[in-house]
Amino acid sequence: MNLVIKSDYESLSLAAAQAIMELSKQKKEVNICLPTGTTPKGMYKALVDLHQAGQADFSFINWFTLDEYLGIPLSSPFSCYQQITELFYEPTGISKDRIFTFNSEAKDLDAEAARYNAIIEHMGGLDLAIVGIGMNGHVGFNEPGSSANAPTRVIDLHERTLVQSKKYFTDDHPIPTKGITLGMKTLLQSKEVFVVANGEEKADIVKVAIHGPVSDDVPVSHFQTHAGATFLLDTLAASKL
């Protein structure tokens, strides 16, 4: 794994955007998985700015949602898919043909997880996975206890995730208790991975993720073993390393 530390959130966001820009310049078809949460918002803004300045051509990229909440419609503003749509797909006019996402309203969700993963495999796997870190060390919704072989699947959200999720929902909207996520296995097979974290509140989990043992208890620690993984941090998130 590699470690890159940036001075502030803006330069961190630009560096994450740059990883996508590099792949887009190859002008060949690539597969990228995108996260939600507060961490990647600056990256999406940087990508939209680059696109508006005419410096970005995303037409060769296939986009995959990393994870999704269950029990809310895909059209809800709280769904991960809608968040990425609002922040990135819509402002850049990305073609719907290039956007892949979990059908979180499918009747058979186990079959849906398998279907979504099979699409990625069929398309040659991920070239780049951009992921955040949950306060409990989760990746996507690979909660503590997820092994390096964990498949793409439906999962019960961890207690800590339910607390963390409060900030994404309004008081009158119940927080979903289940999610569907790309598995650690698929993410660890991605050629490149950027694990992005900013802010002081992530400093403790970042320390465990990078200096702690590789452990299913802290799923993000599995990226220590990945030669193409980069932990991309700001100085605050890196302050306890």
- Which of 51, 138, 158, 226 is an active site residue? 138
Write down the least CB distance from residue 138 to ligand GLP, Å.
7
| Total length of the chain | 241
Can you tell me the distance from the alpha carbon of 183 to that of 166, in angstroms, rounded to the nearest whole number?
24
> φ, ψ for residue 18 (rounded to 5)?
-60, -35
- Beta strand 229-234 with 128-131: parallel, antiparallel or unpaired? unpaired
Cβ atoms 173, 203 nearer than 8 A: no
Tell which positions 67-126 bind ligand GLP, by CB under 6 A: 67
Q: Looking at 116-191, which runs of residues are DSSP E strands?
A: 128-131, 153-156, 178-181
| Known active-site residue 143 | yes
- Beta strand 67-69 with 178-181: parallel, antiparallel or unpaired? antiparallel
Q: Considering the rule CB under 6 A, would residue 64 count as an interface residue with ligand GLP?
A: no
- Which of 136, 142, 158, 216 is an active site residue? 136
Q: Judged by CB under 6 A, which stretch of 158-166, 185-193, 210-218, 226-234 contacts ligand GLP?
A: 158-166
| Known active-site residue 97 | no
Can you tell me the distance from the alpha carbon of 182 to that of 64, in angstroms, rounded to the nearest whole number?
10
Write down the least CB distance from residue 38 to ligand GLP, Å.
4
Write down the least CB distance from residue 164 to ligand GLP, Å.
6
Write down the least CB distance from residue 27 to ligand GLP, Å.
29
Q: With CB under 6 A, what is the number of residues at the site for ligand GLP? A: 15
Nearer to ligand GLP, 132 or 219 (CB): 132
Helix (H), strand (E), coil (C) string for 83-119: HHHHHHHHHHCCCHHHEECCCCCCCCHHHHHHHHHHH
Among 9, 17, 24, 37, contact with ligand GLP (rule: CB under 6 A):
37
**DSSP category for residue 241:** -
Q: Considering the rule CB under 6 A, would residue 177 count as an interface residue with ligand GLP?
A: no
Among 89, 116, 141, 231, contact with ligand GLP (rule: CB under 6 A):
141
Binding-site ranges for ligand GLP (CB under 6 A): 35-39, 66-67, 131-132, 134, 140-141, 161, 164-165
Q: Annotated catalytic sites, by residue? A: 67, 136, 138, 143
